[in-house]
Amino acid sequence: MSRTQPEEAPIRGLASLGEWCARRPWRVIATWLLALGVLAGVAGSLHASFSDNVKLSGTQANSGFQVIGENFPGAAASTGLVVFRSPSPLIRQRSLIESAVTSLGSVTHVLSATDPFSATSVSRSGLVAYSSVGFDVPSRGLPASLVIALDHALAPVRAAGISISYGGALDQITQPPVNDRRSEAVGFAIALLILLLVFGSVAGAALPLVTALVGIGIGVSLLDIVAASTSFSVSAPKLAIMIGLGVGIDYAVFLVTRFRQLMVDGDGPVRAASRTTATSGRAIVVAACTVSIAMLGLYASGLVFIGKLGLAAVFGVVASALGAITLVPALLGLLGRRIDRWSVRRTVAESGSSGDGWHRYAGAIGRHPWMYLLSGLVVLMVLAAPALSLQMGHVGDGANPTSFTSRVAYQEMADSFGPGINGPFTLVISLAGHSSVAELEASVSQQVLATPDVATLSPFVRSRNGAALVATVIPRTGPQNNATTELFNRLVHTTLPRSLAPFSARGYVTGEAPSQIQFDELIAQRTPLIIAVVVLLAFLLIMTVFRSLLLAIKAAVLNLFSIAAAWGVLVAVFQWGWGRSLLGLNERVPVEAYVPMVLFAIVFGLSMDYEIFLLSRIKEAWDASHDNQGAVALGLARTGRVITAAALIMVAVFLSFVTTPLVAIKQLAVGLAASVCVDATLIRLLLVPATMYLFGDKNWWLPRPLERIVPHLGVEERTK
């Protein structure tokens, strides 16, 4: 009695919640729609902005920024580029261009604009020139209206037939608004088709889509409200929508499947909704907690930027889970037996009879578990093999669509001045005592220019207070090239310490490119920590919920295989270029530094979703019979069809985002779609049952010391 009581209390609570919602459907529906309208209205009025600019305290780049800020008052907080191109030599329009550049100084937020006809700003052909425009705020604080003001000041130049493109700090505010409505509609259409095939009725197919839309609408609105007061990545809203829609549809599919089975078994609509919420609804709560734990585990990286990506996804997950245990029961209670009205084919109840295909498939695995286990592992290793060549970096403007002005500016600068012009380094030297500045400059200049992969070094500029020097280093290679990263580390760890050793001075390498390089390196260093934290948390949750040590270990190990396979697909598609043209990519690109880490957290969380749904049905059968062989077969038979359908829907939702111009989102979409395919087929429907057949009754073993301290948080327990 003492063990049963704490396990059943939460079930009664969820059962009561499901019954209350089913008896008052219009009140629940009205509450959700009112909340959606209010939150969407508030979010729309706040005009939240998103940016990928990151400053990392204590790093070389950030320390250099601080020295510049302290010694060069009025220095630009960010720098944009205005690139001029003409079919004839620009010198013929010099007075017109210089007049327009002078007028840029009167534009709000503009501190300065350099002369496009200086020796270093005009290409050898004379057809391309650029002006560096300094702004008084960081790029993430630049308003979109700034582009209108720049266009107005430069209108006479355009009228003369000279093309103008914007780059540098202007890249984000010049990008056209991303409208993925058409692609998202395609994803929804595919999801609807799959649901029609699964449920056979219009109402049963439409319900998961409707509830998922409402849930993600509230989740994204909450994200926008929070983003009005703190910065989030430009990828955050899309990430929240992808994850929220995926899990929202999945959660509703599992609930509708259980509800229809209970109706077939003779329950009335209200009782069926109540029992559905108490069983599958509880599994959903645990699954949502697992996904949220995995996503919030990104804060363990110590990088707020990465942690906020996880937080953005949690908004979508939590809103979808709340909708699943309240809005879905309300709609189920409202529809009742009408859920199978407007059928497009003969509807079927949940699989699980001894003669169906899924039960026969489960029996085949049970007869040859080693064969299925080893064959599945071989396929996983083949998919994961490319991950050994994983190259993490930053996907810059060069990978943007050719319609983006930032891509045009990037390409014109690279073609005319060399690829390194798009990722310059700022060399900062903090002077101390009475160092001989002339000798110091000569020493540093000589050794920097002698450093491999340095293209040019500008003359040093001394601050008015005489305490600092600044110069610009142009690498020979572009910002995405590994050689540029090696050059940064060579300057920081070898060239500057050696050249400054005889003087009382400290040197720093800063700028946008060095900041990104250090961000990428920090991500690479901390990814193992994130993996360890998330795996440990998920391990503890699975062990606690199912009271099994082996199931928790097995879940963690197999999910790591799933993630490795997803990383392998990313490398093959984006680094090796397999099928990149289908994604609208102009060139091979590295995997965005934070994508493997974020993908790991998402994939681990989503994998645990399917793990919990499958194991919960197996444990339900085990509790009733204590026959492991029969429990695994019955659990697989009852969830195989719905897991497969849910996975197909999630893949359709994820792949609908590959048309976005944001390369990081493309990578997340491809990685998530690949991982779900792998997880729902090789992992969940092959390796999991094979290992559980091999473990036998030990599946449900928990060492006695752990038995005493691990709390009881059972899933899918008996309902009356």
Q: Nearest 5 degrees, angle CA 349-CA 353-CA 356?
A: 90
138 and 184 fall within a common domain = no
The token pair at 407 is 């891509």
Q: What is the pLDDT of residue 177?
A: 61
Q: Does residue 30 contact residue 336 with C-beta atoms inside 8 Å? A: no
- Mean pLDDT lowest for which of 10-14, 189-193, 591-595? 10-14
3-state SS class at 129: strand
Please say which residue of 143, 174, 205 terminates a domain.
Answer: 174
| List of residues 6+ apart from 115 with CB closer than 8 A | 98, 101, 121, 131
Cα separation of 598 and 675, whole Å? 13
390 and 525 fall within a common domain = yes
321 has pLDDT over 50: yes
Cα separation of 235 and 233, whole Å? 5
DSSP 39-65: HHHHHHHHT---------TTSHHHHHH
382 and 307 fall within a common domain = yes
632 and 563 fall within a common domain = yes
Please say which residue of 461, 482, 510 terminates a domain.
Answer: 510
- Mean pLDDT lowest for which of 327-341, 396-410, 482-496? 396-410
Give the confidence band of 51 by pLDDT, cuts at 50, 70, 90: low
Q: What is the pLDDT of residue 179?
A: 56
Q: Does residue 154 contact residue 97 with C-beta atoms inside 8 Å? A: no
692 and 675 fall within a common domain = yes
Q: What is the pLDDT of residue 475?
A: 94
- pLDDT tens digits for range 679-711: 888 888 889 889 989 988 888 888 888 877 777
- pLDDT tens digits for range 555-575: 888 878 888 898 999 999 988
Q: What is the pLDDT of residue 37?
A: 93
- pLDDT tens digits for range 304-320: 878 888 899 899 999 99
- The tally of domains found in the chain comes to 3
487 and 539 fall within a common domain = no
Q: What is the pLDDT of residue 355?
A: 44
- pLDDT tens digits for range 632-645: 888 888 788 778 88
370 has pLDDT over 80: yes
485 and 534 fall within a common domain = no
- Sign (positive or negative) of CA dihedral 610, 614, 617, 622: negative
Strands (E), 58-205: 78-85, 110-113, 128-135, 163-168
352 has pLDDT over 50: no
Does pTM top 0.85 for this prediction?
Answer: no
Domain enclosing residue 673, as ranges: 4-47+177-396+518-709
718, part of any domain:
no
Please say which residue of 510, 530, 561 terminates a domain.
Answer: 510
Cα separation of 381 and 396, whole Å? 31
193 has pLDDT over 90: no
648 or 214, greater pLDDT:
214
- Sign (positive or negative) of CA dihedral 105, 109, 111, 113: negative
280 and 291 fall within a common domain = yes
497 and 533 fall within a common domain = no
Q: What is the pLDDT of residue 487?
A: 94
384 or 286, greater pLDDT:
384
Give the confidence band of 545 by pLDDT, cuts at 50, 70, 90: confident
The candidate with the shortest Cα–Cα distance to 321, out of 252, 224, 398, is 252
526 and 661 fall within a common domain = yes
Kindly report the three-state secondary structure assignment for every residue of 448-489. HHCCCCEEEECCCEECCCCCEEEEEEEECCCCCCHHHHHHHH
Q: What is the pLDDT of residue 8?
A: 37
210 and 239 fall within a common domain = yes
- pLDDT tens digits for range 241-265: 878 888 888 888 888 888 988 888 8
